Amino acid sequence: MASPQDPKPTGEQNPDIIGNIMQTVAGTFGGAKDAVMGKSPEPKDTTMGKMGEYKDYAAEKTKETADATAQKAKETADATAQKAKETADATAQKAIETKDFTVDKATEGKDALVGK
C-alpha cells in the first residue's frame, strides 16, 4: 500500500495508468459516436425484442379474450335452453291442470243438470 511519503508515480513510472485512461476515454467517445451515427445495433435489437414481446403479449390476450367470450356464449346458450325447457314443462303442466279442471267442472255441471 502506498504511503503519503511515497513519491507519486508519473506517466513514465507507470505507463499503464495513462494508457488505461486513454483507452477508456477513446472507448467512451467511440461508443457515443457510433450511437449518434446510428451504427450501434443495440437500440434496434432492443426495440425489436420489445416489439416481439408486445406482439406475443397481445396475441395471448386476444386468445384469452376469445376463449372467455366463447365460454360465456356457451354458458348463455345453455342457460337459455334450460329456461326454455322449464317454460315448456310448466306450460304443459298448466295445460294438463286446466284440462282436468275443465273436465271436472263439466262433469259437475252435467251432474247438476241431470240431478235437477
Q: Which string of DSSP letters, residue by residue, matches 19-72?
A: HHHHHHHHHHHHHHHHHHHT--HHHHHHHHHHHHHHHHHHHHHHHHHHHHHHHH
pLDDT recorded at residue 23: 75
All three cell numbers of 9: 508515480
φ, ψ at 7 (rounded to 5°): -65, 145
10 DSSP assignment:
-
**Cell 335452453 sits at which residue?**
81
Q: Which residue has the higher pLDDT, 116 or 111?
A: 111
Instruction: Give burial (CB, 10 Å; 0-12/13-18/19+) of 40.
Output: middle
pTM given for the model: 0.43
Q: Is 103 helix (H, G, I), strand (E, B) or coil?
A: helix
pLDDT-derived band at 3, boundaries 50, 70, 90: low
Q: Which residue has the higher pLDDT, 48 or 108?
A: 108
